[in-house]
A and B are shown apart, each in its own frame.
Chain A
Amino acid sequence: MKLPALTLNQRLAAVAVALGALALFSVPHRGPVVSLDTRELALIVEKEVDHVTPSELAAWIVQGRSDYRLIDLRTASDYAAYHIPTAENVTVAALPEFPFLRNEKIVLYSDGGIHAAQAWMLMQAQGYRAVYTVLGGLEGWKDDVLYPALPAQASAAERARFERAATLSRFFGGEPRAEGGVAAPIPMELPKLAAPMPSGAVSPVAPRKKKKEGC
């Protein structure tokens, strides 16, 4: 028996139903296995566009920008002792399961740069593109933001830059170091974080009460 001729609309409807039925088996969201464009990644690394300098980050925090998420990759106890204001604590192990949105701007930091860089690669592998690391990690944050140093025989431009850095430093509870990085004679007030003393000695000063986050 011959089927009755279908109108164009009925044929289109049939196609839609067929595609819909096939879509029952679809996995439109990305799975755990991905392929990476290694050349693209190498270029990003070489051009250093995946970095945020500590001073930039400090400026963002002061401005109250909320278009990024700052992630502290260290352990919970390290995080409790001190973290950059506004940071959230997500350890590297917890990172793959953490519910970031793929288009969120994510800024990672650890003590130095290694864990953050490794976590950056993990995030790239998971398809997160807008991931950055804080240049130098928490050490960089200490050197550039909390305890900025004025070089010996500084030029006027360097002095002006230092003045701006000093303002930022005090905002975050740090202490600018004048004249060639030599610590000021008065004991430093620490934001719950040992200052990078030039002698390597650890300051015994009781840490100041933690700054309220969010500023």
Chain B
Amino acid sequence: MAPFYKYGFFGDEMSLVLAFVLGTGFGFFLERAGFGSARKLAAQFYLYDMSVFKVMFTAIVTAMLGVTYLGWLGWLDLSLVYLVPTHLVPQIVGGLVLGVGFVVGGYCPGTSVASLATGRIDGFVYAFGIGAGTLAYAEVFPWIKGFVNSNELGQVTLPEVFDLPWGLVVFAVVLIAVAGFSAATLVERRFGDKA
């Protein structure tokens, strides 16, 4: 039965080892998708290469279907899977800050590490910026703590928020993804020539 950690199949040390293995795998596939290059990532915002959208949405759909079927088979207890608690307004603000950083720097936190691992200097600078930013955030945290913790919705999922059956949301997300992929391909054709 999964989650393995919550059911005590391994302890803290092993979970760190597994996190390292999974993280390395994540970085490898980011690099294979071309996301170790800021050019590829920035292309997303100029709309002539929608790889970021496609790869990320593929990952979401794959994981969602996997989790749904594992739960259905009784192999995964979904109520034990940790969800980051939702703080709607602070997370929208945080998302915008991250988005601005993504456009300006050409990386998101994960891809910057993949880029660093392949020896790119901009990736190194970006990763350094993440460290500095994290330190700065920790320093100002006492002043913004009230805002960060505001708007608490708890560990919520879309089926709970919209009061819809789980399966219906899964199917809807798959359809949205397929529609999104088709649209993305059209967008690439429209803007691709300007590359």
Q: Which residues of A contact B (CB under 8 A)?
A: 9, 13, 16-17, 19-21, 23-30, 101-103, 127, 129
A127–B166 CA distance with the chains assembled, in angstroms: 20
- Nearest CB in chain B to that of A14: its residue: B178
Most buried by B among A21, A23, A29, A101: A23
Write 5 A-B pairs (CB below 8 A) sorted by A numbering.
A16-B61, A23-B72, A28-B167, A30-B77, A102-B79
- Nearest CB in chain B to that of A15: its residue: B65
A-facing residues in B70-84 (Cβ within 8 Å): 71-72, 74, 77-80
Stretch in B100-108, B110-118, B130-138, B169-177 touching the partner: B169-177
A1–B181 CA distance with the chains assembled, in angstroms: 27
Residue B190 CB within 8 A of the other chain: no
Residue B39 CB within 8 A of the other chain: no
A26–B71 CA distance with the chains assembled, in angstroms: 9
Residue B68 CB within 8 A of the other chain: yes
Whether A16 and B69, one on each chain, are in contact in the complex, defined by CB atoms closer than 8 angstroms, is no
Whether A29 and B170, one on each chain, are in contact in the complex, defined by CB atoms closer than 8 angstroms, is no
Whether A26 and B174, one on each chain, are in contact in the complex, defined by CB atoms closer than 8 angstroms, is no
Residues on B with C-beta less than 8 A from A21 are: 171
* Chain B contact residues: helix, strand, loop or mixed: helix
Whether B168 and A19, one on each chain, are in contact in the complex, defined by CB atoms closer than 8 angstroms, is no
Residues on A with C-beta less than 8 A from B2 are: none
- Nearest CB in chain B to that of A13: its residue: B178
Pick the residue among B7, B67, B78, B171 that contacts A24 (CB under 8 A). Answer: B171
A-facing residues in B86-103 (Cβ within 8 Å): none
Q: Which residues of B contact A (CB under 8 A)?
A: 6-8, 61, 65, 67-69, 71-72, 74, 77-80, 165-168, 170-171, 173-175, 177-178, 181
A28–B168 CA distance with the chains assembled, in angstroms: 12
Whether B68 and A102, one on each chain, are in contact in the complex, defined by CB atoms closer than 8 angstroms, is no
Whether B174 and A16, one on each chain, are in contact in the complex, defined by CB atoms closer than 8 angstroms, is yes
Known: A16-B61, A28-B69, A30-B79. 13 other contacts (CB 8 A): A13-B178, A16-B178, A20-B65, A20-B171, A20-B173, A23-B72, A23-B170, A24-B167, A30-B77, A101-B79, A102-B80, A103-B6, A129-B6
Whether A26 and B77, one on each chain, are in contact in the complex, defined by CB atoms closer than 8 angstroms, is no
Whether A25 and B167, one on each chain, are in contact in the complex, defined by CB atoms closer than 8 angstroms, is yes
When A103-B6, A129-B7 are in contact, do A23 and B69 touch as well, CB less than 8 Å? yes
When A16-B61, A23-B65 are in contact, do A127 and B77 touch as well, CB less than 8 Å? yes
Residues on A with C-beta less than 8 A from B69 are: 19, 23, 26, 28
- Nearest CB in chain A to that of B170: its residue: A23
Separation in Å of the A189 CB from the closest CB of chain B?
Answer: 40
Separation in Å of the A22 CB from the closest CB of chain B?
Answer: 9
When A102-B80, A127-B77 are in contact, do A26 and B170 touch as well, CB less than 8 Å? yes
Pick the residue among B67, B72, B178 that contacts A27 (CB under 8 A). Answer: B72
When A20-B174, A129-B7 are in contact, do A26 and B167 touch as well, CB less than 8 Å? yes
A26–B67 CA distance with the chains assembled, in angstroms: 11
When A23-B171, A26-B68, A29-B166 are in contact, do A17 and B178 touch as well, CB less than 8 Å? yes
Residues on B with C-beta less than 8 A from A24 are: 165, 167-168, 170-171
Whether A28 and B166, one on each chain, are in contact in the complex, defined by CB atoms closer than 8 angstroms, is yes
Pick the residue among B8, B74, B173, B175 that contacts A30 (CB under 8 A). Answer: B74
Whether B78 and A29, one on each chain, are in contact in the complex, defined by CB atoms closer than 8 angstroms, is yes
Whether B166 and A13, one on each chain, are in contact in the complex, defined by CB atoms closer than 8 angstroms, is no
Residues on A with C-beta less than 8 A from B7 are: 129
A16–B77 CA distance with the chains assembled, in angstroms: 22
Residues on B with C-beta less than 8 A from A29 are: 71, 78-79, 166
- Nearest CB in chain B to that of A127: its residue: B77
Whether B177 and A28, one on each chain, are in contact in the complex, defined by CB atoms closer than 8 angstroms, is no
When A26-B69, A27-B72, A129-B7 are in contact, do A20 and B175 touch as well, CB less than 8 Å? yes
Pick the residue among A20, A23, A27, A103 that contacts B80 (CB under 8 A). Answer: A103
